[in-house]
Amino acid sequence: MAESEKAAGKEKRVLRRQFLVGGGAALAAGALSVAVPQPSSAAECKPSYPSSTGYIVYDSRLCWGCQSCMFACSAVHYGNANPALSRIQIIRDAPSFTKYPLDIVMAVCRQCVTPLCVQNCPTGAAHVAAENGNVRVIDEEKCIGCRMCLQSCPQRPRRAVWNPSTQKSTKCDLCLDAPFWGRKGGPDGEPACVTICPSKALKLVHEAPPQEDVSGYDVNLVPPQPKTKRKPGTPAAPKA
């Protein structure tokens, strides 16, 4: 009888311990789920932000894929011509050259009207630079490397860029803070990528393109051809 009572008592203690351990694990998991914030979407919350006064648009049909803009971007920001540090990305869809001339993806920060990177940044590192034309920027000094801006960005590839050297996020600032760029940047200046592009496939504009998808940023930048006034039936002038 004493043996059965001891066994029953031991079983109760084991069950109680399992309950406490399981309950503690559940509480810890609950605490973790509360502690880790999840990025919100534009549909969930639409706070009002002043619009940027500068946007970079592009013509993917003019792009050669030379990556001059990527080398320029990394050089003016870091003094290091390293495409991995570029805040603009040029991607060639190498396996399907049949799609030429649409086989190049130009990934440029959209300076979104509703910037989810700004909305979801827990430290204010991603913010609207009111003193510089409301450009959406990331202050690397305030960045804690949580990558919330990367998770929040609705574009693919992400327009915020991870810097493996500093373990922090960066993004296009229209060359506002480009210490190795000898010219004025920002919405009323000369972003390096726009200036350096040999095919003139990039342009700085001051009105927000349509925000539905990236197609509003892929525009026709081919200069208009001069019209001739040659009358029908008149032979063309001989070439020199």
Bond prior to 101 in cis (omega within 30° of 0)? yes
223 close to 59: Cβ distance less than 8 angstroms: no
C-alpha span between 238 and 161 (Å, rounded): 53
pLDDT at position 3 is 54
Is residue 202 assigned to a domain? yes
Mean pLDDT over 16-43 rounds to 44
Q: Comparing 51-55, 94-98, 218-222, which segment has the lowest mean pLDDT? A: 94-98
Is residue 120 assigned to a domain? yes
Is residue 116 assigned to a domain? yes
**Percentage of the chain lying above the pLDDT 90 cut:** 59
pLDDT at position 14 is 46
pLDDT at position 25 is 40
Is residue 39 assigned to a domain? no
Is residue 24 assigned to a domain? no
pLDDT digits (tens, 9 = 90+) for 122-175: 999 999 999 999 999 999 999 999 999 999 999 888 889 999 999 999 999 999
Buried b or exposed e, range 130-164, using 16+ CB within 10 angstroms: eebbbbbbbbeeebeebbbbbebbbbeebbbbbbe
C-alpha span between 157 and 146 (Å, rounded): 18
Environment class of residue 55 by beta-carbon count within 10 Å: exposed (0-12), middle (13-18) or buried (19+)? buried
pLDDT class of 104 with cuts at 50, 70, 90: confident
Closest CA to 108 of 177, 56, 173, 71: 56
Is residue 38 assigned to a domain? no
pLDDT above 50 (res 19):
no
Whichever domain contains 200, its CATH number is: 3.30.70.20
pLDDT digits (tens, 9 = 90+) for 163-183: 999 999 999 999 999 999 999
pTM, full prediction: 0.73
Closest CA to 122 of 149, 86, 155, 93: 149
Report the domain count for the chain.
1
Is residue 208 assigned to a domain? yes
Closest CA to 160 of 59, 83, 88: 88
pLDDT digits (tens, 9 = 90+) for 189-233: 999 999 999 999 999 999 999 988 878 999 999 987 777 666 666
C-alpha span between 54 and 114 (Å, rounded): 15
pLDDT at position 18 is 47
pLDDT class of 5 with cuts at 50, 70, 90: low
Environment class of residue 239 by beta-carbon count within 10 Å: exposed (0-12), middle (13-18) or buried (19+)? exposed
Is residue 167 assigned to a domain? yes
Domain of residue 96, residue span: 55-217
